[in-house]
Amino acid sequence: MIYPSGIPKVAFTDQPRPNNYGGKPVQVLVLLVAVNNDQKAPNNTSSTADARTIPARHADLTKALILALSVCYRASLRSREEYDRHIIGRFHHPCVLPGRRDINQFVDIINSCQRVFVDEVQLEDNIAKNQALKENLFMMVVCIELRIPLFLVGKPGSSKSLAKTIVADAMQGNSARSELFKQLKRAQMVSFQCSPLATAEGIVGTFRQCARYQQDKDLDRFASIVVLDEVGLAEDSPRMPLKTLHSLLEDGYQGLEETGQDTKVNKVAFIGISNWALDPAKMNRGILVQREVPDTKELVESAECMMVIQTVHQLVS
């Protein structure tokens, strides 16, 4: 695969992953990074090799590790500066950051990769490419590509549903408008609107429908996604329908085994969208993105982006 600048070539892997994604980030995104880099590296691995070539040789490995940590841990934190400061000091030879070693460089690597994805999608003229949208879009693409359950938690207006709509439009496989997204899976989303009246049968039925969509498909090029909108509302149901998520997120829908289909079709992607945090027993079965109320810096960036858009429109007209 050919990736634009900013995305390490070893950032994605479809190898088997543990169910508890929050605890083992390396296995999630970079399980075979070291092997891939060893295969690309020159045969001369003696201790007399020029040490100055090592940072360049392992640049993709280092970036992939940073992105893996950002996906599995950083995205779930409300305050990230302390985490960034702690992690930046843990990168040592040969996985070192070129140039300065500070928080800004660490964050720039994450932001640059997220920016690549948002720059490859088509947005309406009145949509600002703010940090919330970039992170939500990036996390959705990664989790859909790897079929990792994703919980997206944030206040209303934090671009959760917007990112879902953009991803559904962009991930069209070979029919995608972007060359980058042509190399990713085609995504088919099936939404279920949660409420206090939601039932476990309705949620299981949505997983069943998605599993059937994956029948007779090339699972390396296609993924169906269960989207639970307003999933937090279902926690108020006396029927406790979200209990069924425990097995569905770990093992997938098991009702198709009798048809003789490959059990891989049972495992579908999952996105749960909520305005507030759920029971940890559910969120620990996937990756969590937690968006707080935007701070002053984010608001200024959004305003500046909208001003640029308005200025361009005035010049064009």
| Interval 265-276: pLDDT, tens | 889 999 999 999
228-262, pLDDT tens digit by residue? Answer: 999 999 988 889 999 999 999 988 888 765 545 56
C-alpha neighbours within 13 Å on the C-beta side of residue 210: 32
pLDDT at site 47: 35
pLDDT at site 289: 95
Instruction: Flag whether pLDDT at 53 surpasses 90.
Output: no
Q: Name the nearest CA neighbour of 174 among 164, 163, 185, 165.
A: 185
CA distance 127 to 123: 6
Q: Which CATH number is 128-317 given?
A: 3.40.50.300
184-210, pLDDT tens digit by residue? Answer: 999 999 999 999 999 999 999 999 999
Is 190 buried (19+), middle (13-18) or exposed (0-12) by CB count in 10 A? middle
Name the least confident of 103-112, 138-147, 254-263, 294-303: 254-263
C-alpha neighbours within 13 Å on the C-beta side of residue 124: 6
The predicted model gives 35-53 an average pLDDT of 39
pLDDT tier at 223 (50, 70, 90 boundaries)? Answer: very high
pLDDT tier at 4 (50, 70, 90 boundaries)? Answer: low
Expressed in percent and rounded to 5, the helix, strand and coil fractions of the chain are 50, 10, 40
pLDDT tier at 5 (50, 70, 90 boundaries)? Answer: low
Q: Is the peptide bond before 42 cis (omega within 30 degrees of 0)?
A: no
C-alpha neighbours within 13 Å on the C-beta side of residue 246: 7
CA distance 117 to 303: 21
The predicted model gives 151-171 an average pLDDT of 94
Q: What are the extents of the domains in the chain?
A: 1-43+51-119, 128-317
Report the percentage of the chain scoring pLDDT > 90: 44
pLDDT tier at 18 (50, 70, 90 boundaries)? Answer: very low
Residues making up the chain, counted from first to last: 317
pLDDT at site 33: 41
Instruction: Flag whether pLDDT at 213 surpasses 80.
Output: yes
Q: What is the CA radius of gyration of the chain?
A: 20
CA distance 208 to 66: 35
DSSP secondary structure letters along 168-214: HHH-BGGG-SSHHHHTSPEEEEEEEE--TT--HHHHHHHHHHHHHHT
Instruction: Flag whether pLDDT at 27 surpasses 50.
Output: no
Cβ-count burial 231-259 (b if 16+ within 10 Å, e if not): bbbbbebeeebbebbeebbeebbeebeee
> What is the model's pTM?
0.82
Name the least confident of 11-25, 162-176, 195-209, 295-309: 11-25
